[in-house]
Amino acid sequence: MNSEHFLVETDWLETHLADPALRVLDCTIAMTRQAGGGWQSASGRAGFEKGHIPGAQFVDLTRDLKDHASPYSYMLPSAVDFAATVAALGIGNDTQVVIYTAAVPWWATRLWWMFRVFGHDRVAVLNGGLGKWRKENRPLTNDTAQYAQADFRAAY
């Protein structure tokens, strides 16, 4: 896959799950409507632990990839912090990354954008996300994927 593919289909992903140069990231954020109006966001980790795409890892955008010094939620982390977080997930500069969410797709596109900001073009969003994956009766697991630390150098 090259950097021109911004979306991947579920059949492509299932075929490539065993590829050692692929990392799959779930970045689901659960959104709850508040009684007084507005929305409250929370980590989607609990849903991930109930079942996810084999080989996937969870990235918590409420905690892992944000600027902790900012008073505003979901601000872009520093290049150093981004690189450290994704390297710990086994993502290097040559790794193909596929991102999905369980519901609201804008979180996946936000993480896709972060990768692109820091110079990583080998990134795509799973078309239809986990919902489409489930509708097609593709495999799910509760196993947690672990990968060796990689070397990721953010462009900035």
pLDDT digits (tens, 9 = 90+) for 24-73: 999 998 866 678 877 666 677 888 899 999 999 999 988 888 767 777 77
pTM of the predicted protein model: 0.91
Task: Evaluate whether residue 152 is within a structural domain.
Answer: no
By the 10 Å C-beta count (0-12 exposed, 13-18 middle, 19+ buried), 76 is classed as: middle
What phi, psi does 61 have (nearest 5°)? -70, -15
Task: Evaluate whether residue 44 is within a structural domain.
Answer: yes
Confidence of residue 113 (pLDDT cuts 50, 70, 90): very high
Task: Return the pLDDT at 2.
Answer: 47
Q: How far apart are CA 10 and CA 16, in angstroms?
A: 10
Instruction: Read off the pLDDT of residues 59-83 as tens digits, 9 standing for 90 and up.
Output: 998 888 876 777 777 777 899 999 9
Task: Evaluate whether residue 155 is within a structural domain.
Answer: no
| Helix (H), strand (E) at residue 122 | none
Q: Which of 102, 112, 106 is nearest to 65 (CA)?
A: 112
Domain count, the chain: 1
**What is the span of the domain harbouring residue 23?**
7-135
Task: Return the pLDDT at 38.
Answer: 74
Q: Which of 70, 65, 156, 72 is nearest to 118 (CA)?
A: 156
User: For residue 92, what is the domain's CATH number?
Assistant: 3.40.250.10
Is-contact 139 14, C-beta < 8 A?
yes
Q: How far apart are CA 40 and CA 87, in angstroms?
A: 29
Task: Evaluate whether residue 113 is within a structural domain.
Answer: yes
Confidence of residue 4 (pLDDT cuts 50, 70, 90): low
Task: Return the pLDDT at 115.
Answer: 95
Alpha carbon 2 to its chain centroid, in Å, reads 18
